[in-house]
Structure 1
Amino acid sequence: MAYAHLASVYDQLMADSPYDQWLSWLEQVWSRLGRPAQVIDLGCGTGSIAIPLSKRGYRVTGVDLSAEMLAVAYTKMKQAQTDVTWVEQDMRELSLPPADSVISLCDSLSYLTEEEDVQQTFQRVFEHLNPGGTFLFDVHSPYKILHGFGDNTFTLCEDEVSYIWQCFCDPVRLEVEHQLTFFLRQPSGLYQRVEEEHFQRAYQTVQIIRWLVEAGFEEISVTADFLNEPPANTSERLFFVAKKTRH
């Protein structure tokens, strides 16, 4: 999974995503725990979080595994007349100068489908934070995997892009396979068919907290669905805040 075909239409498909709410959540947390000067955005995609943060005065490094997504992000950055450093890198092997905060939003960490990958990423993030730094991220909840995706099929039919999105859920692993078939309109008026396959997995909240503690984090808190309230059984998106203490 590297968003090879999806990159060109990703922003169109995500047009209704609540980026303003993600940005507000970040700044609410930072207002309590300290405003960072340097921010690393893991799984930055096309820069829809990194670019607005840069416009607000943060020094941002956007990290993504997809060169295609980063190419779109670079174009958007130029149009926004701001400056973000883009790095093509696997978050499990993060290797950058340290930052005051590491963020990973839009359920990017849910693409880590093995427990060892999550643990390794948490350790790399901890090592890349300055003392007192914060780690802010969101993931899909088990409820979202089982009931939001499940074994459902979703469709979209528009002039420029249409898709058939089939989900196949493994309830034991809390993992979903997304099989995506896109029909992209070409300049000729004909449609190109492309296919992508994505996997996402949820983990129990207690597991994630344990892995954060094992990596060295403290002052860990969990909320859900942009509400700043503890998760409920039917919460779909879990928000985690963890801190690297100064000692």
Structure 2
Amino acid sequence: MNPANPYDAFARIYDLQHRGFLDDVPMYLRLAREASPEASILEIGCGSGRLMIPLAEAGFRIVGVDESSEMLRIAEQRLRTNRRIPAERWSLVHADARALRLDASQFDVAIIALNTFLHNLTRDDQLATLRTARAHLSTGGLLAVDLPPNDEMAYQPDDGVFRLEATLIDPQAGTEIHKFVASRIFWAGQEQELTYRIEERRADDTTFTEQLVTFRLRHVFKHEMELLLLQTGFAEPTWYGNYDLAPYGEGSPRMIAAARAI
């Protein structure tokens, strides 16, 4: 994954933008319930706890792993202050997923949600992350990886021009935030470079801050992902094209692999 974690720099902004994204929650609840009414879940790249909270509220035991200490700080704060979630139902681990080894932990479900897998920039990174997932799943356990569809890169800007992605309000800080993104595509390596420009201003215009954060993603295609899974202890995956678990096909908005550990 990225050698320096860019999410530490704008974890608060990321959380403000994404904490309300719930489209995939019913899918993960369904997959967990199908595994077991008391399924144990490992989330690789849990971020600020967006998925952990509804899964723990539903009664599942969940462990979240992330490389960003600032993301984990936000996740811990949200989990600890949620009265519907007992403390014994969740835990957080600050670790590089490629080298994660939790003692004697066997999970029923592992999740790599919402493009998180794209932060693996090399084949070795990809294989190591999937081996981590397999090492922590019981035989027959399910891994779900949520990816963009095969043609996603073709629709992404490749001019490096900043475009407004989101306007956010931070009620605690009393600021308005404008998040711009510039994209470049590197087809030879299946990589996309994203640079975010964050502009934040107080309502009275007395304070203005700006920061730049850049990172790369490596896109992965369907058959490539199948080979990676088959090399790391998983059976042939089932492919879904949206969060309703419709089959993957032309025009699908998502590319979700569901693979059993063997």
- Structure 1 SS opposite 2:195: strand
Q: Say if 2:193 is the partner of 1:185.
A: no
Which whole-Å CA distance do the structure 1 matches of 2:48 and 2:179 have between them? 20
Which whole-Å CA distance do the structure 2 matches of 1:111 and 1:80 have between them? 30
- Contact 1:225-1:238 at 8 Å conserved across structures: yes
Which whole-Å CA distance do the structure 2 matches of 1:35 and 1:216 have between them? 25
Task: Give the superposition deviation at 1:235.
Answer: 3.2
Which whole-Å CA distance do the structure 2 matches of 1:129 and 1:164 have between them? 38
- Contact 1:41-1:63 at 8 Å conserved across structures: yes
- Structure 2 SS opposite 1:172: helix
Which whole-Å CA distance do the structure 2 matches of 1:77 and 1:8 have between them? 16
Which of 173, 193, 199 pairs up with 2:216? 199
Which whole-Å CA distance do the structure 2 matches of 1:157 and 1:48 have between them? 19
Q: Structure 2, unaligned stretches of length 5 or more?
A: 169-174
Q: Say if 2:105 is the partner of 1:100.
A: no
Distance change (3 Å), C-alpha of 1:176 and 1:12: same
Task: Give the superposition deviation at 1:35.
Answer: 4.3
Q: Say if 2:7 is the partner of 1:3.
A: yes
Which whole-Å CA distance do the structure 2 matches of 1:149 and 1:106 have between them? 20
24-33 or 192-201: bigger deviation: 24-33
Question: CA deviation digits over 1:41-71, x for unaligned, max 9?
Answer: 1100000101111111111111001000000
- Equivalent residue for 2:133? 125
Task: Give the superposition deviation at 1:33.
Answer: 4.3
Distance change (3 Å), C-alpha of 1:35 and 1:199: farther
- Structure 2 SS opposite 1:3: helix
Which whole-Å CA distance do the structure 2 matches of 1:172 and 1:223 have between them? 27
Task: Give the superposition deviation at 1:198.
Answer: 1.7
- Equivalent residue for 2:247? 230
- Equivalent residue for 1:28? 30
Identical columns (%)? 21
Distance change (3 Å), C-alpha of 1:103 and 1:15: closer
Distance change (3 Å), C-alpha of 1:218 and 1:168: same
TM-score normalized by the length of structure 2: 0.84
35-44 or 195-204: bigger deviation: 35-44
Q: Structure 1, unaligned stretches of length 5 or more?
A: none
Which of 234, 239, 243 pairs up with 2:260? 243
- Structure 1 SS opposite 2:134: helix
